[in-house]
Amino acid sequence: MKSLTNIIIKNSKRQEIQETLKEKILSFIAFIIVFGFLTVTMISISYTVTYKLKEINQTYTFINILLLMNFIILFAKSVFESLNVLYFSKDLKQLLKMPIKPKDIVHAKLINMIISEYQMEIIMLAIPMIIYGIIMRVKILFYLYILITLIILPIIPIITTSIITAIIMRFSNKLKNKAQVMYITIIVTAIIIDFLFTGFKPISVSNYEFEKAILEKNGVATIISNQFALLKPIMNTILNYNNIEGAKNLTIYILESLSIYIVGLFIISKVYLKGAIGTTINSKKAKKENKKLTINDFKQEKANKAYLKKELRTILRTPIFCIQCIIIPLIYPLIILSVLIIAIILSKNMGVNITEKLLEIINTSSGQAIFLGVAQVFFMMNFCSIIGISKDSKTAILTKTLPMELNNQFDIKTKIGKRINLLSTVIVTFAYYYTVQNINASIIVFSILYLMNSIGENIKLLIDIKKPQINWNSEYTMMKQNTNVMNVLFYTLAVLMGLLVISKIIKKANIFLVTLLIISLVAYLAITNYINKNQNKIFRKIY
Amino acid sequence: MIEIKNVSTSYVKGQKIIDKMNLKIEDKTIFGFIGPNGAGKTTTLEMITGVLQIDEGDILIDGKSIKKDPIEAKKLFGFVPDSPDMFEKLTGIEYLNFIGDIYKVNPKQRLEIVEKLSRELNIYNHLKERIQSYSHGMKQKLLIISVLLYNPKNWILDEPMTGLDPQASYILKELMKEHARKGNTVFFSTHVLEVAEKICDKIAVINKGKIIYTGSIENLKEQVKNDASLEESFLELIDRKKE
C-alpha cells in the first residue's frame, strides 16, 4: 500500500520531460519569486492585523478567522480534488486492472489529496500563525500545535467531500457527464457544509452580544468558535496551547479527524468500485433525446463564429474552467461594485461624503494609477487566455492542421477573456465617472483599460503558447499544476510597477492619462504586429 | 499528390530526427508508410500537415507549399492522427458541424455524408452524445467521418486501423481504395504489415529518420529474398541497415 501511495503522489506531480536545465532553473527562480511574494504579502497582512487586534485585546480572533478561512478553502478545493483524483484521473484504467483492493486505492488517493494541500496551508496558515507567534511571543509548544494542526486540518474537508462524491458517483445515472456530477457535488457539499457548520441556523449575534464581546478579552474569538462547532476543538487547541485545555481539545480534534477518516475510508471503499468502473467504460444507457439526424442539426456558420462557439462550449461544459474563466472574473468586480455602492449609501447616511474623499485621491496621477491598477488585478483573475491552448489538451495539435490562419486562431482564443474583462472595464470606468463627473477623462480611462485588457489577454495566451500544458490527466490537475499562472502574477506586478513609476514621473493627472493612453496604444500595436508576423514561430511548441 | 523535398527537422537544435527526406506520393495511389516505433513516421506526417515546423526543404500538397502557403495546402488534405484526441466537451454532431463550418460544407451535404458514413461505421446513435463518452474506436470513426465530410483530395492517416473493430476497419480500407480509384491520394502510416500488404500500391520504409526503401511490395520482396513475406522482408531490410 505504501508503494501505491508513493506512485500516486509521484504521478500527480507535473513532469516536464523536455525541460532543459535552463528552463528548470528559470522555473525554480519563478517559483521562489512567487512563493516569496505570497509569503511577504501574508507576513505583511498578518503583522498589521495582529497588531491592530492586539490594541483592542482581540488577537485570538485572527487565529479563529484564519482557521475558518483555511477550512472553507479546503472544502471548496476538495470538491474538485476528490472528483478528479478518485474518479477522473487517467491512472484509474491501469489501477482497476491490477489486483489491488478498492480500499487500498482509496487510501492511497486520499493520502495523496491530503498531502497535496500542505503547500497551500504553509502559505495561508503556517506563515500567518508564525508571525502571530513572533508578535505575541508565544512558547515553543504553540508552534508544535500549529504543525499538528497543519497536518490534520485537511482530513475532515477532504474525507467529507470524498464521501459525498463517492455516493453521488455510485448512484449517478450520468456517470460520463463529469460536469453535471461536479455541479451536483458542489451544491450537495455546500448544503452539507452549511449543516455541519451551522445546523441550518443563521449566524446571528445581537448588537449587545457583540459590544460585550468587544469589551471582553478575546470575546470575538469566543463568538466565532461558538458559531462553528466542528472547528471549535481545533480553535480551542491553539487558544489554550499553554494549558491542559489545549491538549484535551487537540486530542478531541485528532480523534474526530481519525474517526471521520476511518468511517470515510470504509464508506468510500464500499461504493467506490462501481462508480470508478462507470467512469472508465462507455455509457450505454439509452438517451431520451431524439437520435435521428435532420437538416436542422446542421446549420452553417462562419468559420470564426464556429471556432469561438467551440471555445465557449469547452469552457462552459468544464466546471473548473467555467469557475476560473467566467464566474470568478464576473463575480469579483460585481462584489467590489456592490461594496462600493453600499459604502456610498452608508457614508451618506452617516453624513460623510465618500465621493469627495475619492475625488481627492483621483485628482492625482497616483490616484489614477490606483484606479487603473484595480482593473488590472481584476483582469489577472481571468484565466481564459492563460489556459487558451492548455485547456484543449492534445486537440491543440489538431487545430494546427485546420486551414485557418494561426494568428486568427490566436485572436479568437483571446476573445472570450477580452469580452469578460469588459465588465471590470465598465465598472472601473463607471466608478471613475461617478467620482470625477468628467466624460472626456472617463472615455480616456475606458480606452486605456480596453487596451490594457487586450494587451494582457494577448500576453497571457503568448505565455501559454510558449509553454503549453497539453499532456494532462484531468482539467483540475492541469489548472492546479499550471505554472504559467505564476507568470500572469509577474505580468500584473510589472504593470502595477509601471503604473506607479509613470505616476511618480508625471504628476499632472491629465497628462498622466494621455501619456498612458499613448503607451498602451503603442504597446497594443507592437504586440499585435508581433503576433501577426511570427504566427508560425509562436505556435511552434504545439506538437 | 504529396511531394517531400529534401526535408529535415529536429526537436532539439543539432539533433535531426528527419534527415534530408525525399518522397513522392503520386495520385491514384494508396501509399503505406512503414517503420519501427520511433522511426519518424508520425513526425513526417506532422510535418506534412503543418503541425511540426520544417527546418530545411519543403513539402508540397498538390503543388502548394505547406511552408509558404499553409492555408491553401491545408485545404487540400484531411488528417486522421494516431491518437484521436478531440474536443471532448463537444458532441459528435457539434464537432462535425465545426469541421463543416471551417471547410465550408453546406448543411445538405453534411447531412448526406454524416448519415451515410455514421450508419456504416455504426456510430449514428451516438452522434448527439459528448465525445468524452466515446471509446477510442468511436473517436477514430468520428475523425474519419470528419475528414470525409469535406472530401479532400489527399488523405493522410496515422495508424488509422488502431482501435477500429473489424467491420469499421474493412469499411475504411474499402473507402481508401475507392478514394485512390477516383484519382486521389491516400498516404497512411502503419506498423501492421498485413494491412500494408493487402491495400498498398506502394510503400516507403523509414528507419531512424531516413527512408530506406521506396517502391512496390513485390519489389521489396524480390530485393530481399524470393518468396519472403513482407514481414520477413521488412525485418531483413531493417537488419541490413543496422549492420
Q: Is B180 a domain residue?
A: no
Give how far A395 is from chain B: nearest CA, Å.
5
Q: What is the mean pLDDT of residues A395-412?
A: 92
Q: Does B107 touch chain A (CB under 8 A)?
A: yes
| Alpha-carbon gap, residue A472 to A393, rounded angstroms | 7
* Of B50, B128, B138, Cβ closest to residue A401: B50
Number of structural domains (chain B) is: 1
Flag the least confident range among A95-109, A359-373, A392-406: A95-109
Q: A425-437, pLDDT tens digit by residue?
A: 999 999 888 888 8
- Say yes or no to pLDDT of A383 above 70: yes
Task: Quote the cell numbers at residue A3.
Answer: 508503494
Flag the least confident range among A59-73, A243-257, A336-350, A373-387: A336-350
| CB contact residues (below 8 A), chain B span 9-48, against chain A | 11, 46
Task: Flag if B89 and A313 touch (Cβ within 8 Å).
Answer: yes
- Say yes or no to pLDDT of A202 above 80: no
User: Nearest 5°: phi and psi at B210?
Assistant: -125, 145
User: Nearest 5°: phi and psi at B226?
Assistant: -60, 145
Task: Quote the cell numbers at residue A198.
Answer: 451551522
Flag the least confident range among A140-144, A481-485, B235-239: B235-239
How far from chain centre, in Å, is Cα A143? Answer: 28
Q: What pLDDT does A363 receive?
A: 83
**Of residues B112 and A203, more confidently modeled:** B112
Interface test with A, best of B54, B66, B88, B124 (most A CBs within 10 A): B88
* Of A179, A293, A301, Cβ closest to residue B101: A301
Burial of A2 (0-12, 13-18, 19+ CB in 10 A): exposed
| Alpha-carbon gap, residue B27 to B8, rounded angstroms | 24
* pTM listed for this prediction: 0.77
Q: Is B131 a domain residue?
A: yes
Task: Flag if B98 and A306 touch (Cβ within 8 Å).
Answer: yes
- Output the CA torsion sign for B191, B194, B199, B205: positive
| Alpha-carbon gap, residue A97 to A104, rounded angstroms | 14
Specify the DSSP element, H or E, that contains A277: helix A244-280
B155 in Cβ contact with B105 (< 8 Å): no
Q: What pLDDT does B77 receive?
A: 94
Give how far B78 is from chain A: nearest CA, Å.
9
Cα separation values, A316 from A301, A408, A411, Å: 20, 22, 19
The whole-chain average pLDDT of chain B stands at 88
How far from chain centre, in Å, is Cα B84? Answer: 13
Give how far B151 is from chain A: nearest CA, Å.
14
Task: Quote the cell numbers at residue B150.
Answer: 469535406
Chain A residues with at least one Cβ partner in B under 8 Å = 18, 176-179, 282-283, 287, 289, 291, 293-295, 297-303, 305-307, 309-310, 313-314, 317-318, 392-395, 397-398, 400-405, 536, 540, 542-543
Name every chain B residue with its beta carbon within 8 A of the beta carbon of A397.
46, 51, 81, 85
Query: Beta partners for B202?
Result: B31
Q: Is B102 a domain residue?
A: yes
Task: Flag if A298 and B111 touch (Cβ within 8 Å).
Answer: yes
| Alpha-carbon gap, residue A331 to A533, rounded angstroms | 36
- Please identify which residue in the block is written with the cell numbers 492555408: B71
Give how far A126 is from chain B: nearest CA, Å.
39
| Alpha-carbon gap, residue B233 to A258, rounded angstroms | 65
Query: Beta partners for B189?
Result: B33, B158
Cα separation values, A282 from A90, A278, B168, B237, Å: 15, 8, 18, 42
* Of B53, B83, B101, Cβ closest to residue A540: B53
Q: A457-481, pLDDT tens digit by residue?
A: 999 999 999 888 888 877 877 887 7
- Helices A178-198 & A59-82, crossing angle to 10 degrees? 150
A407 in Cβ contact with A535 (< 8 Å): yes
Task: Quote the cell numbers at residue B18.
Answer: 528527419
Structure ipTM: 0.87
- Please identify which residue in the block is written with the cell numbers 492546479: A480
| Alpha-carbon gap, residue B85 to B82, rounded angstroms | 9
Domain ranges, residue B117: 86-151
Burial of B242 (0-12, 13-18, 19+ CB in 10 A): exposed
Give how far B5 is from chain A: nearest CA, Å.
20
Half-sphere exposure of B240 (CA within 13 A, CB side): 12
Q: Which of A536, A540, A305, A396 is nearest to B69 (CA)?
A: A536
B40 in Cβ contact with B17 (< 8 Å): yes
B137, closest residue in chain A (CA to CA): A282
Query: Beta partners for B186?
Result: B30, B155
Q: A315-332, pLDDT tens digit by residue?
A: 988 878 888 898 888 888
Q: Which of B149, B144, B154, B46 is nearest to B86 (CA)?
A: B144
* HEC letters along A373-394: HHHHHHHHCCCCCCCCCHHHCC
